[in-house]
Amino acid sequence: MGIKPISVQLYSLREQLSEDFTGTMKAVADAGFVGVEPAGFYGHTPAEFRKIVEDLGMVISSSHSPWCTPDSVNEVIDVAGVLGMKYVACGYGPDYFKTVDAIKETADTVNGMVEKISAAGLTLMQHNHFWEFEMLDGRLKYDIYAELCPDVQFELDVYWAANFGECDSAEQVKKFAKRTPFMHAKDGSLLRDAALLAAGDGKIDLKACVAAADDDVLQWVVVELDRCDTDMIEAVTRSCRYLSENGLGKARK
């Protein structure tokens, strides 16, 4: 299997970026990340943000800014062009997956966005949390949703896909491999409400998750820690190193 480049979801570093944007971005580059996935531009225009990233030798792999909604589709398309990327993201809270009817309504919304995003030459990815991997009427909620949204792709977060140990992340990657161009390589203890851990320090079998992906579909492996009890810059740096040293992703030299 080809080794995919490593990106980092900058939401992980939101506090550091707010306090020292330039220094934190340099630390990201020094850590070896090939790409970044912004969640906000910290006072910069998208064009300015792209120049900063590229001047540091990285690229923008994808973006969670602006988050794709029916009201923001046109802005998402415009910003994607400025950032020079082909993948944009959406995602929903637990109430959008609470019942079968809620899932159907969510799917209808996403299908409408997929049509517009695809027409612009872009790919819409759904980013999951743990509630999509709960059971509903004897089925996994995400299975129901995936059937109703056949054209949306997935930015599969392998930690949340485990649903605190209720699901096997690698099995979920394998199931959705044909629709998973991005993987969030997230790790942790699988204890509810616990802070996350650097990749390789937790209970997620990241080697099995990457092996379960489709080599022809997977484009990026993305580090993300929603929160961490240790220094976040150190945690994302260690995550990048772990993925690179274990052949699970490609870092910059």
pLDDT at 1 exceeding the cut of 80 = no
179 near 110, Cβ under 8 Å? no
Whether the pLDDT of residue 109 is over 90: the answer is: yes
Check residue 231 and give its pLDDT: 97
Q: Does residue 8 contact residue 193 with C-beta atoms inside 8 Å? A: no
User: Hey, what are 244's tokens?
Assistant: 């690179």
pLDDT tens readout for residues 137-157: 999 999 999 999 999 999 999
Is pLDDT of 25 > 70? Answer: yes
Instruction: Kindly report, residue by residue over 180-209, the tens digit of the pLDDT.
Output: 999 999 999 999 999 999 999 999 999 999
pLDDT score at 253: 79
Q: Are 209 and 184 in contact (CB under 8 A)?
A: no
107-131 mean pLDDT: 97
The predicted model gives 46-74 an average pLDDT of 97
Exposure class string for 185-198: b at 16+ Cβ within 10 A, else e: bbbbbbeeeeebbb
In 61-129, DSSP assigns E strands to: 87-90, 123-127
Average pLDDT over residues 36-48: 97
Residues 6+ apart with CB under 8 A from 108: 148
The reply to whether the predicted model has a pTM over 0.85 is yes
| Triad 167, 123, 238: Cα angle to 5° | 55
> pLDDT value at position 188?
98
Q: For residues 128-145, give the mean pLDDT.
A: 98
Q: Which fold has domain 6-245?
A: TIM Barrel (3.20.20)
Nearest-angstrom CA–CA distance, 106 and 63: 21
* Mean pLDDT score of the chain: 97
pLDDT at 48 over 80: yes
Buried-exposed string 2-27: b where 16+ CB fall within 10 A, e elsewhere: eebbbbbbbbbbbebbeeebeebbeb
CB-CB contact of 200 with 223 (8 Å): no
Q: In the predicted model, is pLDDT for residue 8 greater than 70? A: yes
Region 45-69: what's the mean pLDDT?
97
- pLDDT at residue 170 above 70? yes
> For the chain, what are the domain ranges?
6-245
The pLDDT of residue 158: 98
